[in-house]
């Protein structure tokens, strides 16, 4: 809405509602403040269970979540939460503070919605409060809103991993699609020239042994596929908050070992097929070693690239695949053709 429309709507609202809307509009749409609701139940900690239950019955129909009661002190600061089940079974004369959980999780309104979703998912929360610097509750975020966030974030990462904007859809205007996709394709083209340059260094070898031209795509393709497997797992783990470079860098050795085993297996199969086709044992040996080398490269960079991008405060889903493809193509071609040049007399 334009400014005049907004003012007109706010003017005709109740003063309390108008203030709430203006507060919510002050936060980014993808932040905790932007997705929270102001419909919740908060009760003073010194209330008896009997009085608390009366208030719950009165407030409950107007709230989005009734199972979780947020407990505050005399200054309206969040000090804990109470489950409705505990309220129902507690003695009437006991106070609310005696049954509350003091370890209340909360977020600030500026917290990114993805971080909020990780907290809710990790601790199986039905709702999480949003508080200001004084720990006064501004609102809550419910699990149904978090489900929407998770779906949006996963969709965004999937699209960005392919170099497509989250704002683009089937039927988008041609100009929009061009503006969203073309820059990434140009970047990809630049990296493709780098791979092409690597192949060009060994033109004399390829001319003499035509079989190399048939085998090269196998090395590059397997490296790219293996790297994408690692990349997908790491990006998903980053999104779930399960991995970071400082703490989990040692797992890169797992990916290197996995690349070695997978490379040896697929390299042996490929070498056997090429031996049946061309009858040259050295060509089979070259493809075997090159496959191991490129899958090790794929595991190494597939693990490292997204973590480095995250460390640099960049979205790992945006450009990881471009850097990975460059690494596996250049690395794979260089190892394969370099070995071919070394063993050239045995290939002729």
pLDDT in tens, 188-211: 788 788 888 888 888 888 888 878
Burial group, residue 151, by CB count within 10 angstroms (0-12, 13-18, 19+): exposed
Mean pLDDT, residues 12-37 taken together: 84
**3-state DSSP assignment of residue 37:** strand
| 17 or 294, greater pLDDT | 294
Name which residue leads in pLDDT, 22 or 40: 40
**In this structure, are 214 and 338 located in the same domain?**
yes
Q: Residue 94: what pLDDT?
A: 93
Q: Please check whether residues 21 and 152 belong to one and the same domain.
A: yes
Q: Is residue 230 within 8 Å of 256, Cβ to Cβ?
A: no
**pLDDT tens digits for range 109-144:** 999 888 898 888 888 888 999 999 999 999 999 988
* Largest Cα–Cα separation, the chain: 95
Q: Is 21 exposed, middle or buried (0-12, 13-18, 19+ CB in 10 A)?
A: middle
More confident residue, 221 or 320: 221
Domain boundary among 135, 159, 183: 159
**What's the confidence (pLDDT) of residue 89?**
92
pLDDT band at 2; cut points 50, 70, 90: confident
101 with 81: CB under 8 angstroms?
yes
CB contact set of 313 (below 8 Å; sequence gap of 6+): none
Instruction: Report the distance separating Cα 57 and Cα 219, nearest Å.
Output: 68
Q: Give yes or no: residues 176 and 155 share one domain.
A: no
Taking Cα atoms as reference points, which of 334, 255, 326 lies closest to residue 295?
A: 255
Task: Count Cβ atoms below 10 Å from residue 72 Cβ, excluding itself.
Answer: 19
| pLDDT for the residue 324 | 87
- CATH label of the domain that carries residue 343: 1.10.357.20
**Which residues lie below 8 Å from residue 253, measured CB to CB, with a gap of 6+?**
none
Q: Is the pTM of this model over 0.85?
A: no
Strand 127-131 relative to strand 137-142, pairing: antiparallel
Same domain? For 190 and 304 the reply is yes
**Model confidence over 239-284: pLDDT tens digits?**
777 787 888 888 899 999 999 999 999 999 999 999 998 889 999 9
92 and 191 in one domain? Answer: no
CATH number of the domain where residue 42 is located: 3.10.580.10
State whether 122 and 178 are in the same domain: no
Residue with the larger pLDDT of the pair 171 and 72? 72
What is the rounded CA–CA span in Å between residue 238 and residue 311?
11
Verify that 189 and 135 share a domain, yes or no: no
- Percent of the chain surpassing pLDDT 90: 39
Total of domains in the chain: 2
- At residue 284, the pLDDT reads 92
Domain boundary among 128, 159, 190: 159
**C-alpha closest to that of 315 among 235, 200, 228:** 235
Cα separation, 236 vs 157, in Å, equals: 9
Mark whether 186 and 307 lie in a shared domain. yes
Whether residues 325 and 291 share a domain: the answer is yes
Q: Give me the pLDDT at residue 172, please.
A: 66
Q: Measure the CA–CA gap between 139 and 145, rounded to whole angstroms.
A: 13
Is residue 228 located within the same domain as residue 337? Answer: yes
| Interatomic CA distance for residues 220 and 295, integer angstroms | 9
User: 263 lies in which domain range?
Assistant: 172-347
Whether 165 maps to a domain, the answer reads: no
Q: What letters, b where the CB count within 10 A reaches 16 and e where it falls short, cover 29-58?
A: eebbbbbbbbebbbbbbebbbeebbebbee
- Give me the pLDDT at residue 165, please: 56
pLDDT at 159 over 80: no
Is residue 164 in some structural domain? no
Same domain, 251 and 201: yes
């Amino acid at each position: 809405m334009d400014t005049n429309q907004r003012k007109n709507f706010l003017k005709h609202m109740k003063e309390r509602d108008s203030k709430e809307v203006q507060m919510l509009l002050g936060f980014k749409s993808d932040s905790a403040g932007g997705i929270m609701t102001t419909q919740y139940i908060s009760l003073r900690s010194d209330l008896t269970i009997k009085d608390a239950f009366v208030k719950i019955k009165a407030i409950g129909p107007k709230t989005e979540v009734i199972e979780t009661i947020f407990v505050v002190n005399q200054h309206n600061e969040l000090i804990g939460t109470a489950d409705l089940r505990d309220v129902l079974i507690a003695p009437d004369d006991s106070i609310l503070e005696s049954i509350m959980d003091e370890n209340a999780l909360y977020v600030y309104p500026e917290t990114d919605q993805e971080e909020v979703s990780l907290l809710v998912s990790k601790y199986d929360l039905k709702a999480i409060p949003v508080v200001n610097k004084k720990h006064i509750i501004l609102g809550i975020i419910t699990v149904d809103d978090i489900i929407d966030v998770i779906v949006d974030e996963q969709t965004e990462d999937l699209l960005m991993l392919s170099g497509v904007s989250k704002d683009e859809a089937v039927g988008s205007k041609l100009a929009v699609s061009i503006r969203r996709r073309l820059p990434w394709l140009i970047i990809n083209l630049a990296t493709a020239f780098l791979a092409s340059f690597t192949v060009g260094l060994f033109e004399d070898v390829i001319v003499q042994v035509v079989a190399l031209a048939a085998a090269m795509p196998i090395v590059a393709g397997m490296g790219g596929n293996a790297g994408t497997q690692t990349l997908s797992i790491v990006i998903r783990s980053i999104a779930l908050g399960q991995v970071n470079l400082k703490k989990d860098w040692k797992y890169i050795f797992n990916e290197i070992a996995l690349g070695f085993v997978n490379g040896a297996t697929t390299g042996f199969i490929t070498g056997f097929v090429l031996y049946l086709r061309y009858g040259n044992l050295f060509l089979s040996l070259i493809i075997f070693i090159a496959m191991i080398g490129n899958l090790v490269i794929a595991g190494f960079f597939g693990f490292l690239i997204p973590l480095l991008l995250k460390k640099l405060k960049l979205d790992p889903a945006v450009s990881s695949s471009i850097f990975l493809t460059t690494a596996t193509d250049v690395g794979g071609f260089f190892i394969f053709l370099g070995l071919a040049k070394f063993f050239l007399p045995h290939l002729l």
